[in-house]
Structure 1
Amino acid sequence: CTAMDQVFHIRCFDCIVCHLQLQGKPFYAVDCKPYCEDCYMNTLEKCCVCTKPILDRILRATGKPYHPGCFTCVVCNTALDGIPFTVDAANQIHCIEDFHKKFAPRCSVCQEPIMPEQGMDETVRVVALDRSFHVNCYKCEDCELLLTSESEGRGCYPLDGHVLCKSCNAARVQALSSTLATNI
């Protein structure tokens, strides 16, 4: 019989691994050596998710082989082939959005995760009094003036753990002073 541009005795044309006779059967040639279908499948890399042989394109991430369709976010199961992803401390794969939702600091006012704005890569947050805030949630607790260090008089003037603007801080200090004076 003729196979792989070589001539074989019929009994000699067998699988290089298990010696199954291959005449009239499907076989695979790897480095000019014949393999039966089962032995060939055993030579292929296995997907680390489904453990099935990878017959087509191998997607390799975090040092492991995947079928492109098996490489998914652990939260939303979106296929991440060609999509930016990240890995958590437990080596679990996340799409960027779910990673931020799960691990981003939470705003101390609205309790929502502080994530990058739509179309942006970087997160902007305010940290004050060991608490995190969205820029738009960083307001005076009394008058709701949006606080910023960029404008004169709009900075944070904390008092007893409260986030206050300059005038509300002064009003609270005045009220505390009046209360103390009347109690003495």
Structure 2
Amino acid sequence: MDQVYHIRCFRCSICNRMLQGLPFYALDGKPYCEDDYLNTLEKCCVCNRPILDRILRATGKPYHAECFTCTVCGKGLEGIPFTVDSGNQIHCIEDFNKKFAPRCSVCDKPIIPEPNQPNTVRVVALDRNFHVSCYKCEDCGLLLSSQAEGRGCYPLDEHILCRNCNARRVRQLTASVC
């Protein structure tokens, strides 16, 4: 502030409090008492306290770095990947996957990327989810694949089957009808 004041004229621009001997702040060329200055600062959306130093912005909201944490485990998320659920709650990737990833209909584990891998493959058949390694014929255990010749899925009565086991079951069904 490049201005000179009489002692009794040196007052907060908001509340008119005398500032002689008190901490004060200059904002846009005007003096502010500490309380009124703090009220001009952005507030952290978690703790609602003013952000005095660096503002961390995520999901369009201001945070203190120490307040930007996973809602499940409390891990600090500054500078690391995170995601947001449908309720706008912030999660570390690991907790988000544990909570929201589709579950394999065979092993009931979440279908998530392997450590240090950004993506994973999920097989969907008969409205059910499978890990690639769990997508097997229910009768013989042959690992099924849409890309390998002769290893496609041939479902029958909601059962995941390979071509040979499907043919065997169809023969059994037609033999029992005759």
Q: Fold-level match, TM-score > 0.5?
A: yes
Number of the residue aligned with 1:77: 74
| From 10, 14, 21, the counterpart of 2:7 | 10
For 2:146 and 2:34, the matched residues in 1 are separated by 70
Distance 1:155 1:117 in 2: 25
Aligned match of 1:57 = 54
Matches within 5 A, 1:122-141: 122-141=119-138
1:36-51 aligned at under 5 Å gives the runs 36-51=33-48
Q: Deviations over 1:12-54 (max 9, x none)?
A: 1111111111111111111221111111111111111101110
- Give, in whole Å, the separation in 2 of the partners of 1:57 and 1:130: 47
Q: CA deviation at 1:110?
A: 1.0
What secondary structure is seen at the aligned counterpart in 1 of 2:32? strand
Equivalent residues in 2 for 1:159-174, closer than 5 Å: 159-174=156-171
Deviation at 1:176, TM superposition (A): 2.3
Looking at structure 1, the residues matched to 64 and 72 of structure 2 have their Cα atoms a distance apart, in angstroms, of: 18
**How far off is 1:7 after superposition?**
2.4
Report the equivalent of 1:27: 24
Range with greater deviation from structure 2 (93-102 or 142-151): 93-102
Name the CA distance, whole Å, in 2 between partners of 1:127 and 1:41.
54
Could you report, residue by residue, the CA deviation over 1:95-149 in whole angstroms, capped at 9, with x for unpaired residues?
2222222222211111111112222222311111111110000011111111112
Distance 1:92 1:75 in 2: 9
| Equivalent residue, structure 2, for 1:149 | 146
SS in 2 for 1:91: coil
* Partner SS state of residue 173, structure 2: helix
TM-score (norm 1): 0.89
Pairs aligned (count): 178
What code does the residue aligned with 1:117 have? E
Distance 1:45 1:149 in 2: 54
Q: Which moved more, 1:94-103 or 1:35-44?
A: 94-103
Q: Tell me which amino acid in the other structure corresponds to 2:86.
A: A
Q: Which residue of 2 aligns with 1:112?
A: 109
Question: Cα RMSD over matched residues?
Answer: 1.6
1:133-183 CA-to-partner distances (Å, cap 9, x unmatched) read 1000001111111111222222111111111112222222232233333xx
Which AA in structure 2 matches 1:127? V
Aligned twin of 2:176:
179
TM-score, with structure 2 as normaliser: 0.91
Structure 1 residue 5: deviation in Å? 4.2
Gaps of 5+ in 1: none
